[in-house]
Amino acid sequence: MIEEHMVMTGRLLGAVLAGGLIGLERSYRGRPAGFRTHTLVCMASTVLMLITVYEWQWVQEHAPDSIRMDPTRMAQGIMTGIGFLGAGVIFKEGITVRGLTTAASIWITAALGILIGIGFYFPATVTTGLVLLVLSIFRWIESRMRVQNYARLDVSFDRGTDVDEQALRDELTRGGFDAKLMDWRLAETGEQVEYGMMIETAQPANFSRLARSLSANPKVRRFRIVPTGD
């Protein structure tokens, strides 16, 4: 009995270590689900798997022939239930969706808890290292990749002094942008014409230059640039 208790304690401490390491990285990045959240998720998954691993101690000794438990069903329940917690850290700001990486880290942390709970220490250790690699080194690689950057641009002009579509597209092209999905709207007061579009550029610094250019344009009454991102 003491040996079994030591094994349970060791697995719970392993869950604290694995979940804590991943949570520390998320806390360092300033994410709302960080150190404590990931640690608790990993511990909870481990505890629930311990229930099935040691089910013979609390079920089968009372009814050994009539009750059998399937440990895989507990794992399925854990991974299904963790989706609600993951969904809670995903939020939408305009056209930007944030929190996807944190939700994925919570999901993999739950899987780590399952591995530790059933005593699969080797795959749990390797997975923990790979998760930390993806969250740190891959972030460094991603920041140095040449990628296309997108933003939503809304700009308003006084009616009668507005710039036509082609002139606006030409100005964006000179600034290093490609305008897509342009739409038009007349303000409710009928005094302003509003253009809305997705813009694309290979240089994120172009957004600040565009903001300065629009601010200096006396015809522009209002504008808004909302970059997309994770």
The pLDDT tens digits for 219-230 are 888 899 888 755
Residue of higher predicted confidence among 144 and 125: 125
Among the ranges given (110-114, 139-143, 169-173), the one the predictor scored with the smallest mean pLDDT = 139-143
> Does the pLDDT of residue 57 top 80, yes or no?
no
**Runs of H (alpha helix) within the chain:** 2-28, 35-53, 55, 71-88, 100-117, 121-143, 165-174, 205-216
pLDDT at 71: 66
**Over residues 50-55, mean pLDDT:** 77
> CA angle 193-195-196, nearest 5°?
145
pLDDT at 58: 59
Among the ranges given (34-38, 129-133, 206-210), the one the predictor scored with the smallest mean pLDDT = 34-38
Threshold 0.75, pTM exceeds: no
Residue of higher predicted confidence among 189 and 6: 6
Separation in Å, CA 111 to CA 42, 107, 115, 196: 8, 7, 6, 43
**Over residues 25-30, mean pLDDT:** 78
Residue of higher predicted confidence among 76 and 194: 194
> Does the pLDDT of residue 181 top 80, yes or no?
no
At position 124, the amino acid (one-letter code) is: A
pLDDT at 53: 78
pLDDT at 60: 56
CB count within 10 Å of CB 129 equals 12
The two structure tokens encoding residue 44: 């909870």
